[in-house]
Chains A and B, each alone.
Chain A
Amino acid sequence: MTAPDPSPDDAFQRAAEELWTPVYRFALAMTNDLAEADDVAQEAFVRLWGRRASIDWSEPILGWLLVTARRVALDRFRRLAHALRFGSPSPLPSGLDAATIERFVDLRTELALLTPAERTAILLSAVEGWSADEIGEALGITAGAVRAAASRGRAKLAGGGR
């Protein structure tokens, strides 16, 4: 006897619990900004929620979330729209301690030397263990381009951006 398929709501809830961290990390690599990453990841999940009824939950959903997160991150109007609505930049995540934020302020300066693709190629392969193919799918580029981006990024980190 097999268990019945979970409802879309349950499947979404499970996805939100299991996939938040990789999606957030991907968004962070793309944006290099803690608050922006939160916004981007939230938006990706909000869009997933909106499509939960039509999505095939038997298939892995991470790829869809990452592509959506990339699109959100690249939406050049989003930041201004946010500023128009709220009149201020996105607040930092409230649950993050000041010391961690300070550490990130230092780290992001170094990471700012890298392009989003370079950051993603280096950080997500090391931290999430994603392959070049997987990162390429998320970024909309080929695996070869991911490897090239990682190589360039490493050279920049080693040379301080020179």
Chain B
Amino acid sequence: MSSERDVVEEWRDISRRAAVATGYRSRSRPIALPPARLAVGTAAALVLVVVVGGLVLRGRPTTISPAGPVVASAEDTSFRLDLTTPQATYGPEDAIEPIATMTYLGPRATETIFHAAYPIGFRIEEVGGQWLMGGGMDTPCLRTELAKGESAVLPFAKAGSPDDPTQGFDRAWYEDPVLRLPAGTWRIIAYLNVSLGDCAGEPHELTVENVVKVVIGNASPATATPDATLSADGERALEIVRKYEDALATDHPEAAWPLLSPWSRTTVGSSATFADAERRARGGETSTVQVADPSRDPVLLETAVLGERAADLAATADSDRTYVVSVSRPGSDAGAASTVNLVVAPLLGGEWRIWLDTTSATYGSWPYPEGCAAFGLSPRRCEAVVDAAASNVGFDRSTATATSLMAEPGCGFDDPSSDLINICTRSMSFVAGVRFESDADINVRSRLFRVAGAGGARPAQRGLLGSAVCRRGAGRLCDAAAAADRRGCRGGA
């Protein structure tokens, strides 16, 4: 057994070594491109990047599959250029989001590259047609340091001149920062043009291209025909997840709720909690989610990975037809998209349903204070709400080991087995639930409501009513505001 001092000193040395060995690597660091309107605004001053000799390498052939992504790469002795477009086929209204990545391959540990406004530019060409976005950029001589193995990511941005009508794209198209293309076959080209030493130094130029099709009809990721390699069950699993995500993205939780398994509904607690928590989790974000193909990877179906839902899946679902579907959602925090892994399976002898990856203790909870924004509370008001919650239940906040904000608790008489969303009708509006955890293993919940008509100008403490205390393991859970809905305590925690 080591002494505390030994442990600390050992950890001090190891953590220092590990920190030195790692360090921030800007592998996924995006190089911000200006909005398209800036490129258009300066269109008259733009000049196409001129190829000034050096070896221009054409990339390896584009990889195309019906579902995408489309990927192409090229490299020379010092750089690699990758271009990825998420899908091979789009509809005319779909956002096409190519991303180019340049990586310095060496031989030096670090290298200074010299380039125009950006080291990578983009072009769009209609295959067999006239339409063209010629790219181009300002040509100052800028320098960027890159470490060996370091990559820079550049999302697509429009640049070029809208003045030539033969090139098809008008000013409005350039001013829309989102890349959408009319029906046809399109070549998306990324080109790297940098030099080493100085602006007229050793040139390095690489070009890669992705070819995508734009078709009339619905080719969006949420509705495209599943990959032909998917089994019928896989297609069914994909369909139900897309339906679920579409419902939530369009703010129709009442259409998503019936798709949940009985276990998921019971774990969530009530349909009102579900509707409220999912809305808050999205924060008004309606961007399209990315739904991965269903997987039956044994690793993903292990009990340890499935979490609390594993036991119910084993008891109530057809294990031979159980799929994990990964969904990447845009987060309400702009910097933090999240990935959730839904499990989809048919109930024994019944319908296909979704098992959420959650627990009754964590569903609909946000850590305080980071979660304040999800409740539309400013930091100051949020603090007041938490203070009021603590005061309501006589909880000493200094003993809290964790504080969470909780979604709408429901009306107290919800039947989770019902397919209907139960909207609570109260004389008070819900502000937030607050849960305190302390070292004494005490889980204290307080729910705050604002008296109808109190108005937003009133201090948070005024008009906040209702509280309840839950002691984990104490055999009773009193989880609703008595002043709000007169709910009593129920057994269990």
Q: A48 CB to closest chain B CB, in angstroms? A: 9
CB-CB under 8 A for A107 and B7, given A142-B397, A145-B400: yes
Instruction: Summarize B's interface: helix, strand, loop or mixed.
Output: mixed
- A residues within 8 A CB of B22? 20, 24, 37-38, 41-42, 93, 95-96
By the criterion CB–CB under 8 Å, are B338 and A145 in contact?
no
CB-CB under 8 A for A46 and B28, given A37-B18, A38-B22, A77-B340: yes
Bound Cα distance from A80 to B292, whole angstroms: 14
Bound Cα distance from A157 to B401, whole angstroms: 20
Name the residue of chain B whose CB is nearest to the CB of A52: B32
By the criterion CB–CB under 8 Å, are A95 and B21 in contact?
yes
Looking at the complex, which of B187-195, B366-374, B447-455 is the stretch in contact with chain A?
A: B366-374
- A66 interfacial contact with B, CB 8 Å: no
Looking at the complex, which of B8-16, B162-170, B223-231, B275-283 is the stretch in contact with chain A?
A: B8-16
By the criterion CB–CB under 8 Å, are A28 and B18 in contact?
yes
Name the residue of chain A whose CB is nearest to the CB of B339: A81
By the criterion CB–CB under 8 Å, are B20 and A145 in contact?
no
By the criterion CB–CB under 8 Å, are A96 and B21 in contact?
yes
Name the residue of chain B whose CB is nearest to the CB of A88: B299
CB-CB under 8 A for A140 and B368, given A50-B334, A84-B339: yes
- B474 interfacial contact with A, CB 8 Å: no
Q: A101 CB to closest chain B CB, in angstroms? A: 9
By the criterion CB–CB under 8 Å, are A51 and B398 in contact?
no
By the criterion CB–CB under 8 Å, are A144 and B357 in contact?
no
- B172 interfacial contact with A, CB 8 Å: no
Q: B153 CB to closest chain A CB, in angstroms? A: 11
By the criterion CB–CB under 8 Å, are B8 and A149 in contact?
no
- B402 interfacial contact with A, CB 8 Å: yes
Bound Cα distance from A74 to B366, whole angstroms: 11
Bound Cα distance from A49 to B29, whole angstroms: 7
Which of the residues A38, A126, A144 comes within 8 Å of B398, measured between beta carbons?
A144
Interface residues of B in 287-338 (CB under 8 A from A): 292, 295, 299-300, 305, 326, 328, 334-336, 338
By the criterion CB–CB under 8 Å, are B11 and A107 in contact?
yes
Which of the residues B7, B328, B398 comes within 8 Å of A142, measured between beta carbons?
B398
CB-CB under 8 A for A140 and B403, given A81-B326, A107-B11, A122-B8: yes
Bound Cα distance from A158 to B2, whole angstroms: 8
- A16 interfacial contact with B, CB 8 Å: yes
Bound Cα distance from A94 to B27, whole angstroms: 15
By the criterion CB–CB under 8 Å, are B18 and A47 in contact?
no
- B residues within 8 A CB of A110? 2, 7
- B residues within 8 A CB of A97? 17
Bound Cα distance from A100 to B1, whole angstroms: 19
By the criterion CB–CB under 8 Å, are B7 and A157 in contact?
yes
Bound Cα distance from A160 to B21, whole angstroms: 30
- B residues within 8 A CB of A76? 357, 362
- Most chain B CB within 10 A, of A17, A83, A160, is at A83
- B380 interfacial contact with A, CB 8 Å: no
A: interface residue count bin: 35 or more
By the criterion CB–CB under 8 Å, are B18 and A93 in contact?
yes
- A residues within 8 A CB of B397? 142
Bound Cα distance from A53 to B34, whole angstroms: 13
Instruction: Summarize A's interface: helix, strand, loop or mixed.
Output: helix
- Most chain A CB within 10 A, of B19, B335, B368, is at B19
Name the residue of chain B whose CB is nearest to the CB of A127: B12
Which of the residues B4, B28, B357 comes within 8 Å of A154, measured between beta carbons?
B4
Which of the residues B4, B15, B24, B336 comes within 8 Å of A25, measured between beta carbons?
B15
Q: B302 CB to closest chain A CB, in angstroms? A: 11
What 1/0 flags go to A113-153 for Cβ under 8 Å of B? 00001000011001100000000000011111100110010
Bound Cα distance from A56 to B469, whole angstroms: 40
- Most chain B CB within 10 A, of A28, A94, A152, is at A28
- B residues within 8 A CB of A80? 300, 305, 339, 341
Q: B357 CB to closest chain A CB, in angstroms? A: 7
By the criterion CB–CB under 8 Å, are A103 and B14 in contact?
yes
Bound Cα distance from A83 to B4, whole angstroms: 35
Q: A83 CB to closest chain B CB, in angstroms? A: 7
Q: A10 CB to closest chain B CB, in angstroms? A: 12
Q: A104 CB to closest chain B CB, in angstroms? A: 5
CB-CB under 8 A for A75 and B2, given A21-B16, A103-B14, A126-B12: no
- B residues within 8 A CB of A122? 4, 8
Which of the residues A20, A84, A111 comes within 8 Å of B19, measured between beta carbons?
A20
Which of the residues B11, B369, B370, B438 comes within 8 Å of A111, measured between beta carbons?
B11
CB-CB under 8 A for A103 and B341, given A84-B292, A93-B22: no
By the criterion CB–CB under 8 Å, are B18 and A141 in contact?
no
What 1/0 flags go to B252-287 for Cβ under 8 Å of A? 000000000000000000000000000000000000
- Most chain A CB within 10 A, of B10, B14, B15, B368, is at B15
Q: List 13 A-B contacts (CB under 8 A).
A: A16-B24, A21-B16, A38-B18, A41-B24, A46-B28, A50-B334, A76-B362, A77-B340, A96-B21, A123-B15, A145-B439, A157-B4, A160-B1
Chain B residues packing against A (C-beta within 8 Å): 1-4, 7-8, 10-12, 14-26, 28-30, 32, 292, 295, 299-300, 305, 326, 328, 334-336, 338-341, 357, 362, 367-370, 397-403, 438-439
Chain A residues packing against B (C-beta within 8 Å): 16-17, 20-21, 24-25, 28, 34, 37-38, 41-42, 45-47, 49-51, 53, 67, 71, 74-78, 80-81, 83-84, 93-97, 100, 103-104, 107, 110-111, 117, 122-123, 126-127, 140-145, 148-149, 152, 154, 157-158, 160
The 3 closest A-B pairs by CB, nearest first: A95-B21, A81-B339, A16-B24
